[in-house]
Chain A
Amino acid sequence: GIQVEQSPPDLILQEGANSTLRCNFSDSVNNLQWFHQNPWGQLINLFYIPSGTKQNGRLSATTVATERYSLLYISSSQTTDSGVYFCAVEYGNKLVFGAGTILRVKS
């Protein structure tokens, strides 16, 4: 099966700092999504991004499908950005999640 690896596993930021989260995958995929899971468990769609670059406010994402990785950029981080960030790839008609990056933003 496919391997989806996220790095770093944990990240602590001071409010206002920028960060880059990475997702590597071991095979070609049909799509890739980034999610934020808040402390209450809600998984929120951030981006559907099988290739290319997208931006939404302080967040942006880039997927280089030919090199099998995706990056999520968070700029000017806020305490509400805390939580777990998952990338998930569609493979064999299933969404396969990475292990996540736990982000804590301190005020």
Chain B
Amino acid sequence: DTEVTQTPKHLVMGMTNKKSLKCEQHMGHRAMYWYKQKAKKPPELMFVYSYEKLSINESVPSRFSPECPNSSLLNLHLHALQPEDSALYLCASSQAHGSSTDTQYFGPGTRLTVL
């Protein structure tokens, strides 16, 4: 099973709302990632978790707060977002971060609209 699942598929939220995105994988991978993708652009890395610890934060604003409760789950908590944060948020996982033979597998994404 090479599946990464993400919920919800779509999310509309106001600037004062608090919401969470969820990502799950059952491939035994020890690295999980959040990416942000704006329309007609490539995905941009936000966070990397390796063995449930945050190992890379690409200077993401604090209104985005990642959490890795266990090796299969990755959450992204959202608070006080701006309309420019509207994007497709992609989760990915891989066997081990930084391995030269690593392949990342992506979930279907959550399409977020901030009003």
Residues of chain A touching chain B, judged by Cβ–Cβ distance below 8 Å, are 30-31, 33, 35, 40-45, 48, 50, 86, 88, 90, 93-95, 97-100
Q: Are A100 and B42 neighbours in the complex by a CB distance under 8 Å? A: yes
Complex partner residue of B106 from A40, A43, A48, CB under 8 angstroms = A43
Considering the complex, give the chain A residue whose CB is closest to the CB of B104. A95
The DSSP consensus for interface residues of chain A is strand
Residues of chain B touching chain A, judged by Cβ–Cβ distance below 8 Å, are 2, 33, 37, 41-45, 48, 56, 88, 90, 92, 97-98, 100-106, 108-109, 111
The number of inter-chain residue pairs (CB within 8 angstroms) is 53
**Given A41-B88, A43-B90, A95-B45, A90–B108 Cβ distance below 8 Å?**
no
Q: Are B100 and A90 neighbours in the complex by a CB distance under 8 Å? A: yes
CA–CA, A95 and B42, complex, Å: 11
Q: Are B100 and A30 neighbours in the complex by a CB distance under 8 Å? A: yes
Q: Are A86 and B103 neighbours in the complex by a CB distance under 8 Å? A: no
Considering the complex, give the chain A residue whose CB is closest to the CB of B97. A93
Complex partner residue of A45 from B43, B48, B105, B111, CB under 8 angstroms = B105
